Structure 1
Amino acid sequence: MSQARVPAWVTVALLPAINVLLAFLVSALLFIYIDISPIDAAKVMWQGAFGYAEGIGYTLYYTTGFIFTGLAVAVAFHAGLFNIGGEGQAYIGGLGVGLVCLTLGEFAPWYIVFPVAIVVGGVFGAAWAFIPAYLQAKRGSHIVITTIMFNFIAASLMAYLLVEVLKPENTMATESRVFAVGSWLPKMHEFFALFGYEMSASPLNLSFFFALVCCVFVWLFIWHTRWGYEIRSVGSNPSAATYAGIKYVRIVCLTMLVSGMLAGFFALNVLQGELHQIKLNFVEGFGFTGIAVALMGRNHPIGVLLASLLFGFLYQGGAELSFEYGVDRNIVVVLQGLVILFCGALEHMLRPSIENTYLKLFAKTNEEAA
């Protein structure tokens, strides 16, 4: 079987779609086991995620967070780096965004605070990713080990700051004071109300548009710049890339800086857009889920966007399912795990059969037409 004869859409689009379908079929068995009709459960989840305006807002709100962390992982993958430190990078990026909102937000409106928060949050996230990158490139420390260790360091650092430095007096809650109202990122329904359009209230905010801009940025950066070419070259064959004159240390550091920057943007959606204060554990596992998003999306911005929408559907639909049937919210974690299992660990299980089937059905027809 020649891989060159199989169109890209077969492995990039068709194969993930079949894997997701298999994950949902196995999930149906789980619902049958807990005495819930799979069809009814699917209807409730779909209705909760896309059936009404507020549900769509929540789905896109979760999608926004997954886009940032998914892109962060995808960029690193292109250089052959397994960055599982998105959780910590998003956490430290949130510190930068929070400090901007706590200081500049007292004097400036959101449209001035937002660009500064983008820069500072990105810089903080990139700085947190730089140390593991340097250790990988110069000292040979494996990026997986160092990034996961830095997740714990970030959590400990944030816990210390929220308890000893940022926590207001006369409170026991591990959170900062609330940002000035003028620094809050407008919700989508508030934004469209300025133009006379009414929308149901939801946490969805303007950072969703910025997430789409980041998708375009990553596409241009990876596939239409010299840096992107060098990143993909290092990811394909580090030895050959070095022999061709590409500086490995520079590319590893550059890739991780961009990856950490994208993870740092996560806080724009959650902190400036919704919580309006720095809280303990505000990342809530989105950094780790970003790994699954990148894998499902084949490390391409369009794929990451679609995979983020799928996981947003699972989050919001799972919440509606929990409310409707009273099932444990962890059932959503099980659904996510099944999607990750079939789209990650078992990704190649069906690939030979699907490609062989395509070649038998269409390759001969294409040859005759030629």
Structure 2
Amino acid sequence: MEYKTKDETQAIHIQLNAFEGKGGVTDYHLLLSITNPLLSFKEQLQIIRQSYAAIVEEKLGRKAVAVFRRYFLSDAANQADLLAEQESLNPFCALSVIQQAPLNGTKIALWAYLQTGSGIETETHSSGMFEAAHNGYRHLWAGNLHSKAADPEYQTRLALEDYILRLTEQGGTLASNCIRTWFFVQNIDVNYAGVVKARKEVFFTQDLTEKTHYIASTGIEGRNADPQVLTTMDAYAVDGLLPEQIRYLYAKTHLNPTYEYGVTFERGVAVTYGDRKHIFLSGTASIDNRGNILYPGNILKQTERMLENIRALLEEAGASLRDIKQALVYLRDPSDYQVVERYIQAHHPYLPHLIMLAPVCRPGWLIETECIAITGDGDPKYNCL
């Protein structure tokens, strides 16, 4: 299922992609963005909320369960309170709210991950983690983990240690169960080094090293509504997987191992179920297999190489760009928006995506994209999703 519409009368652009598996669970990725930048934030939020409710009722059905929502705001300090007030009217799920302004000039956009299936059971744990369980798997989502410690390194360390405790309460570990993390860093050019140091040191205590494995991740500019919060973390874990169901992606012809330039994350991870394969790609930029930034200063060539790298990672997992269900594109320079959007529409018009203002962790990278793909390449010896 693929549904796209741009309703100028309602000022909304809707991108809905789905995968229906044999096990009775359907995955939906919904991207909502506003098309009229002249509307107030309150008006734009209302359109997002109304459109979301209408799509759930008309396209997905009332049995649809939201497992994760992330809002992208242009000015979180002045918008988050109203969003929280309105969001409280929705059924609870893991929630992420981050300042990464949509680059079409509007104030808010939304990525929502929903599922339908008769056997889905949900629970909100006392730790704040949201669980969606079906077919022997427990999917655990956490959003907006943060602290107000003195510096970004300590904030990252505390967020990770807090998350490890939450996983432990659910019988899991960071190394065995965590599939994906996101780190949003205020003033990334200054603060990312502290995030990298804390992550590496905490990972080492959890037996996450270059000799074992790391976790698919994105480290990107993003502001919390509270200016004292310098780093914010989202995470996704699965309980019930066998180790052989998880495969890490490298695309060594195109990319180098991340530890070679001092960071600790996997380029991507593929999780195989009985009826499908989930593929999570970390933030991917214009880089070669020696860790060099390619095409400095050239946004168009960087975009082309970035997508070539994404294609190589997907192909390693038996997938293609056509299998992407959602892509989040980050730009350092807002003036590059039209170039990138026109390129995507001309060469990859099927690609479901949002484009946000969010400098990448190395200043020379002008663009980065993360994505989620799903294929029907499952293995019947495992349970369906």
- Bin for the TM-score computed over the shorter chain: under 0.3
Structure 1 length-normalised TM: 0.23
Structure with the larger RCO, 1 or 2 (CA within 8 Å, 6+ apart): 1
Structure 2 length-normalised TM: 0.23
Higher helix share: 1
Higher strand share: 2
